[in-house]
Chains A and B, each alone.
Chain A
Amino acid sequence: MSFNATRPNLLAAPGVAWLMAFMVVPCLLVLSYAFFQRGTWGGIDYTFTLENFARVADPLYARIFLNSARIALTTTLIAILIAYPAAYAIARAPRMRQPILLFFAVLPFWSNYLIRTYAWIVLLNREGLINNLLRAMGYTGEPLSLLYTESAVIIGLVYNYLPFVILAIYSTLSRLNPELMEASRDLGAGPIRTFFRVTLPLTLPGVAAGGVFVFVLSIGNFVTPALLGGGRFQMVGNLVYDQFLTANDWPFGAALGMALIATMIVLLLVQARATSHASGERRGEAA
């Protein structure tokens, strides 16, 4: 395109300005709040302090952080275990059918998060479908309380983020050179060995990308714990929510939010390193 050197910058300017004004500046503002004290009436008292960060590490809150991390990790692992076979099956389906399968795997992800979570309230509550099915099958005991448990929260999170993991794994599987697997088979490795020694290691970047995404979104989630956990399971997201909307302690909420962002950045960096390491290895093998 016969664009001169300044034209691209001019074209990008409005979008960049918007993102600076309404993403970068607000995030920096919140970051700065984390270094101030809470005002007597809930506002911000502009006196420098590191107390908010110390409170994040306080055993009470550290426990919530660790607990959220545990729930997020469980969610991530389950999502990967379900998504991998699904992505593998899609990648092995007839070529013409792959785009449509992929589309329908991802479609729920774009639709309303609240409604997808609500669907599980319908399924899991005491008068819900699962308890009714059990009764129909001859179960006569007390209805199971499936809702408002940690498992319900994990099911909801897995359900909501599964499509993304399927897509992430599929996108690495689809770029895989089939000759590598054939070579492994020709050299006498069985299908299982080929999978664990060739296919799986080569698709780990996709697994990592999907995993990091699910972990970050789960740990910062407040809707699913509130709806499926019945508010009994505090996660970091709920904690941030409370500080801003009920406890009115914005500086502490800001510090918690920054801890969340820091976790995300660290994980993304680790994942980027792992990915470039893996692709470096692949290049090395090819040479």
Chain B
Amino acid sequence: MSGQATIDAMTAAPPAVGAAVPGAFRRKLPGRIVLLVVFGFLYLPIAVLVLLSFNDSGLPTSWSGFSTRWYVALAGNGDILRAAWNTLVVAVFATLISTVLGTLLALGMETRRRKSNGLEALAFAPMVIPDIVLAVALLSLFSRLNLTMGLHTIVVSHVVFDLAFVCSVVRARLKNFDYSIVEASRDLGASGWTTFWRITFPVLLPAIVAGALLAFTLSVDEFIIAFFTAGAGRSSITLPMQIYSMIRFGITPEVNALATIVMGVSATALMISQWLNKEQVR
């Protein structure tokens, strides 16, 4: 399925060199203009937001000087700090569980003799199912079981899509895995357990960490499923839920600062993830 191929391309290591250039690229200018316009469209709105977060007046109407006062204001906002803490707790636990389960699933799927279509569909579904559907399905399950919802139910829910992405990243690495080194290790008398920890695991480690960072980012940024599975009350509000309730009523300078921090954290985690993925290919 082509959708699967695209998801693979998103999570896989980038090619060391790009694709073959179709024909000679004689006219460079149109291509550059297209890229400039599209990247402008993608990054200008974000750039405006970042710039505004440092605007002293906090208003988009005029620039009244550089200031970090909106960041200082954030640090004194108890609601936001609690939401940030909740987000961190959810993301850390969801990442730990999904990294272990996703890696094992990837190993299981790639070492099978025959590809199982059912297994492929199961591992692909969390990446394409509309969030709102998974959200109401999980809400229905938790309330049917009469569970008290809170941060733990958000963790359980986030693991569903996190583990699919970790699995996808690790599988991409396993596809280029040279199984002869495993055989060599076994031939030299190492047990299966020793071989895994001394050979397979170190080779896979960059992909596992890259997958974990991706899972962490997805979990930190996820809103809809967290919103439905957090339960009532303010005690288990996460950062995206906090942001949603703030921006529904328009622009506040504090949100600009918060958005800048959240984007910065995500971008850093993704760049490290991508860099790890790239290193291992060489």
Interface centre among B126, B133, B157 (most CB of A within 10 A): B133
The answer on a CB contact under 8 Å between A30 and B140 is: yes
The CA-CA distance from A261 to B134 in the complex, in Å, is: 10
The CA-CA distance from A206 to B19 in the complex, in Å, is: 15
The residue that B19 contacts in the complex, of A13, A15, A173, with Cβ under 8 A, is A173
Tally of A-B residue pairs with Cβ under 8 A?
336
Chain A contact patch, size range: 35 or more
The answer on a CB contact under 8 Å between B160 and A174 is: no
In the complex, identify which listed stretch (B21-29, B65-73, B76-84, B204-212) lies at the interface while the others stay far away: B21-29
Q: Does A197 touch B at the CB level, under 8 Å?
A: no
The answer on a CB contact under 8 Å between A86 and B38 is: yes
In chain A, positions 64-117 with a C-beta closer than 8 Å to chain B are: 82, 85-86, 88-99, 101-108, 110-116
The CA-CA distance from A122 to B45 in the complex, in Å, is: 8
Task: Convert A114-134 into 0s and 1s, putting 1 for each residue whose CB lies closer than 8 angstroms to a CB of B.
Answer: 111011111101011100100
Contacts of B182 in A (CB 8 A): 1-2
Is the contact region of chain B dominated by helix, strand, or loop, or is it mixed? helix
The CA-CA distance from A175 to B41 in the complex, in Å, is: 27
The answer on a CB contact under 8 Å between A271 and B3 is: yes
The answer on a CB contact under 8 Å between B140 and A111 is: no
The residue that A272 contacts in the complex, of B1, B113, B137, with Cβ under 8 A, is B1
Contacts of A129 in B (CB 8 A): 48, 60
The CA-CA distance from A88 to B128 in the complex, in Å, is: 25
- Return A263 CB to nearest CB of chain B, in Å: 9
Q: Could you list 18 further interchain pairs (A-B, Cβ under 8 angstroms) beyond the known A85-B38, A132-B61?
A: A7-B111, A12-B104, A12-B119, A14-B105, A22-B159, A26-B140, A27-B133, A92-B25, A105-B42, A108-B43, A111-B217, A121-B250, A125-B60, A127-B59, A162-B42, A164-B6, A244-B136, A244-B228
- Interfacial residues, chain A to chain B (CB-CB below 8 A): 1-3, 5, 7-16, 18-20, 22-27, 29-30, 33, 82, 85-86, 88-99, 101-108, 110-116, 118-123, 125, 127-129, 132, 159, 162-164, 166-168, 170-178, 181-182, 185, 199, 205-206, 208-210, 212-213, 216-217, 220-223, 226-227, 237, 240-241, 244-245, 250, 253-254, 257, 260-261, 264, 268, 271-272, 275
